[in-house]
Structure 1
Amino acid sequence: MMEIGRLPNPRAAQALVDYLRGQGVSCRIQQAEHGVIVSVEREQDYSRARAEFDHFISHPYDAKYLQASWEHGDMHAGLDYGAPALALFSRFLTGAGPVTLLVFALCILVYGAMQLGLAQQTYSLLSFFGAVSNGHAEVWRLFTPTLMHFSLMHISFNLLWWWYLGGKIETRLGTGPLLLLLLVAGTLPNLAQYLLTGPNFGGLSGVVYAVAGYTWVMGIKKPQAGIGLPPAYMGFMLLWMLLGFFDVLGMSMANGAHLAGLVIGLGQGWLDSRKP
């Protein structure tokens, strides 16, 4: 064990340790007379961990530490973060940025309106060209079907992945890359789906597959960016898409939007991974 530094309280130390654990560095926290001692288990990790400790001292509220506590935190660490509901809400907010949260809220508002007797009006306003009688000047219809969901499972699946992956992109790389993904993958996959099945569709799935493809490529091509998608998760997303194409799930799937979104995410991820 090699000490890399001391911190005044275990909560702060746990955030640092969670982040280092996610980077493959094994650390331990030990109680001291004043505060806690953070140590690494392997000598070869000392320089890397010490540099991260110095960064943590200067930037303790960096979003990457908050996100690491959510992804890699030890649920049995024995730290008291206050009321469970408040802690969960805090993690929800710190694990995302303004674009992630805005889209999350809009999808919930649209779904709520559709469940509260306004389904026809909402669909008429937001559906793709041709689903209802409308003019082609209503350009918002290229994007707005992305905000509509037709079942609790549909919206839950999409928003979980959107928050997890979109939030990771936005908190690590900034709003710009996520906003570009949202605009491109929120429109072009809708066109692809229209060509395959017509105008009656909706959902954030095309964007979800875009952020999945993006994080997967970035994790492979540019791991220093701090984002990535475990192979098992990516495998699940691909399997889900394939099952949709073979129509074995017993539900309507926007297969064209899924595939187009994935291609967009892979392409933008490859381009962004080449940037210095």
Structure 2
Amino acid sequence: MQKLLTTRNADMMKRLHSFLQRRGVPVTVSEHGNQLELWLVQSSYSALAKDLIAEFKADPDGAEAELEQASQASPRAQQTPSLVQQLLRQAGLLTIIYAVLVSLVFALLNTQLAMPLFENLRISDSFTDLPWLQPWRFLTPTLLHFSVLHFLFNVFWWWYLGGRFERAYGSLYLLIALVACAVFSNVMQFMVSGPYFGGLSGVVYGLFGIAVVVAWQRPAHPLFLPIGLIGFMLVWLLLGYTDLLWVNVANTAHSAGLIAGLVLGIAIRVIEHINKTNTAHGS
């Protein structure tokens, strides 16, 4: 995250925050003592954000009026976005690509290609040897889903959590999270139960762990999760260790993914703190 502005003027900050958000710039506001700080969530918007702030400072009323006129002049602004448009707005490129891959593999697993596909995507052909000569297998079990409910549950949470994470931090960060959580959760599950498992749940719980840490006590953060949702995810995790669920659950992958996500979330908070400190010292 990048600090854009510091002020004591709450009304101006409120207007500027709204102005930038309406222009599609991902920003958030935090309090530091008696100061309000405007932070840019995704660094790729830095140049646009600075230009818009300069425009707003030069003539706040004019900038807001121009934005309002543009909104009224655009026919699309008068239309309610379709469900597909709303879903696409909630995700980034990597989120979409991986969801499509998971969907394609699920469709193929319900054809005559199911067995050769599973044999090539499972983590290993052995119960004891990790696939060091075929490293993609550390990741590919995340593409395997064996029931409609399993598939829908994981794709939904991947889109919800992964999409928000990618929109906030960028595709590179999501790729790192995907690989780290997938490899750790898949290896841990393999060591416990062998190669006959699959699913994106370890990554989903990893993204959940990241969201809990980076947005903890930060309700304005784009990854902030309500306490009810956090409770649901934890209860579902614990239920997997009982005999109450009607499906087989890769519990180790879930728990390992969550642990990996918590660690990544802490790392992101540390990086944000370092960047914030360096920015404060440089200003």
TM-score (norm 1): 0.71
The alpha-carbon deviation at position 64 of structure 1 amounts to 7.5
The alpha-carbon deviation at position 61 of structure 1 amounts to 3.2
CA contact (8 A) 1:244 1:253 kept: yes
Matching residue of 1:272: 268
Aligned residue for 1:187, secondary structure, equals: helix
CA contact (8 A) 2:105 2:144 kept: yes
Following the alignment from structure 1 to structure 2, what is the Cα–Cα distance between the partners of residues 232 and 206?
21
CA contact (8 A) 1:216 1:230 kept: no
2:105 to 82, 107, 110: 110
Q: Percent identity?
A: 34
The alpha-carbon deviation at position 221 of structure 1 amounts to 5.9
After superposition, give the CA deviation of every residue in 1:140-171 in whole Å (9 maximum; x if it has no partner): 11110111100000010001011011000111
Relative to structure 1, the CA distance from residue 162 to residue 135 in structure 2 (aligned partners, 3 Å threshold; closer, same or farther) is: closer
Relative to structure 1, the CA distance from residue 64 to residue 80 in structure 2 (aligned partners, 3 Å threshold; closer, same or farther) is: farther
1:128 to 119, 123, 137: 123
Relative to structure 1, the CA distance from residue 222 to residue 56 in structure 2 (aligned partners, 3 Å threshold; closer, same or farther) is: closer
Runs of 4+ in 1 over 4 A off after TM superposition: 131-136, 221-225
Q: Which amino acid aligns with 2:16?
A: A
After superposition, give the CA deviation of every residue in 1:204-259 in whole Å (9 maximum; x if it has no partner): 00000000111111111655643212111111111111111123202110100000
Q: Which amino acid aligns with 1:51?
A: L
Matching residue of 1:167: 163
CA contact (8 A) 2:106 2:144 kept: yes
Matching residue of 1:49: 14
Once the two structures are superposed, the pairs formed by residues 165-244 of structure 1 within 5 Å of their partners are 165-220=161-216, 225-244=221-240
Aligned residue for 2:95, secondary structure, equals: helix
Relative to structure 1, the CA distance from residue 134 to residue 230 in structure 2 (aligned partners, 3 Å threshold; closer, same or farther) is: closer
Following the alignment from structure 1 to structure 2, what is the Cα–Cα distance between the partners of residues 256 and 48?
46
Q: Greater RCO between the two (CA within 8 Å, min separation 6)?
A: 2
Q: Which amino acid aligns with 1:259?
A: S
Q: Does 1:61 align with 2:24?
A: yes
Once the two structures are superposed, the pairs formed by residues 143-154 of structure 1 within 5 Å of their partners are 143-154=139-150
Matching residue of 2:72: none
CA contact (8 A) 2:17 2:27 kept: no
CA contact (8 A) 1:127 1:141 kept: yes
Q: Does 1:81 align with 2:79?
A: yes
Following the alignment from structure 1 to structure 2, what is the Cα–Cα distance between the partners of residues 249 and 64?
41
CA contact (8 A) 2:215 2:223 kept: yes
CA contact (8 A) 1:63 1:94 kept: no
The alpha-carbon deviation at position 54 of structure 1 amounts to 3.3
Q: Which amino acid aligns with 1:55?
A: L
Following the alignment from structure 1 to structure 2, what is the Cα–Cα distance between the partners of residues 208 and 56?
28
Q: Which amino acid aligns with 2:259?
A: V
TM-score (norm 2): 0.69
Following the alignment from structure 2 to structure 1, what is the Cα–Cα distance between the partners of residues 126 and 198?
11
Count matched residues.
215
Following the alignment from structure 1 to structure 2, what is the Cα–Cα distance between the partners of residues 233 and 131?
38
